[in-house]
């Protein structure tokens, strides 16, 4: 499998998943605390992702899959549909697919696109909300405040 993102990152509750590198680095890339910002953001090509999906599909069991990298939802919607379609077609059964995302990308996609990604298997999106304390968020160079993130998430999930 191609994997060139340094240390593999995923939420602790995704310990039993198989990683599929979709992005490298983070699309925001300026936070003070995150080492993903030391890498230029890139989206993996379908030519890299497709053989990785085949390799994962060859395993005896694939309980979950995690779209790795700093922000998989920064990829264009059509690309996400293509990758999730490959996963659904080649890895069956699978309990679900998760990823990291920025709240701005969740909001950009909107409720209908998120619903269609969910229908293709994306069932968990981990959004970085490292603190609810505005001064700490400003110091760390985060661009989204807790209440703004909460409002965007609510609006993005309404259909």
Query: What residue spans define the domains of the chain?
Result: 14-156
- The pLDDT tens digits for 61-112 are 888 899 988 788 999 999 999 999 999 999 988 889 999 888 788 888 888 9
What pLDDT does residue 19 have?
87
What pLDDT does residue 130 have?
60
What pLDDT does residue 97 have?
94
Q: Is CATH 3.20.20.70 what the domain over 14-156 is classified as, yes or no?
A: yes
- Token output for 73: 């939802």
- The pLDDT tens digits for 99-148 are 988 878 888 888 899 999 999 999 988 876 665 667 776 766 666 655 55
- Token output for 126: 């981990």
Let me know: does 130 contact 142? Beta carbons within 8 Å: yes
- Token output for 108: 């950009």
Let me know: does 91 contact 56? Beta carbons within 8 Å: yes
The pTM of this model reads 0.80
Question: How far is Cα of residue 17 from the mean position of the Cα atoms in its chain?
Answer: 13
Residue 48: pLDDT band (50, 70, 90) is very high
User: 39: buried, middle or exposed (CB in 10 Å: 19+, 13-18, 0-12)?
Assistant: middle
Let me know: does 29 contact 92? Beta carbons within 8 Å: no
Residue showing tokens 């790795």: 68
């Amino acid at each position: 499998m191609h994997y060139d993102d340094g240390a593999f990152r995923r939420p602790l509750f995704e310990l039993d998943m198989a990683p599929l590198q979709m992005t490298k680095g983070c699309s925001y890339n300026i936070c003070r605390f995150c080492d993903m910002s030391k890498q230029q953001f890139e989206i993996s090509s379908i030519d890299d992702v497709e053989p990785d999906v085949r390799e994962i599909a060859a395993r005896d069991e694939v309980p979950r899959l995690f779209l790795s990298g700093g922000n998989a939802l920064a990829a264009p919607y059509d690309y996400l549909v293509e990758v999730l379609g490959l996963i659904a077609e080649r890895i069956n059964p699978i309990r679900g697919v998760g990823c990291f995302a920025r709240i701005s990308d969740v909001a950009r996609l909107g409720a209908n696109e998120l619903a269609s990604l969910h229908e293709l298997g994306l069932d968990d999106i981990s959004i970085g909300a490292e603190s609810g304390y505005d001064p700490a968020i400003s110091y760390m160079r985060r661009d989204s405040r807790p209440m703004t993130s909460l409002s965007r998430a609510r609006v993005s999930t309404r259909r």
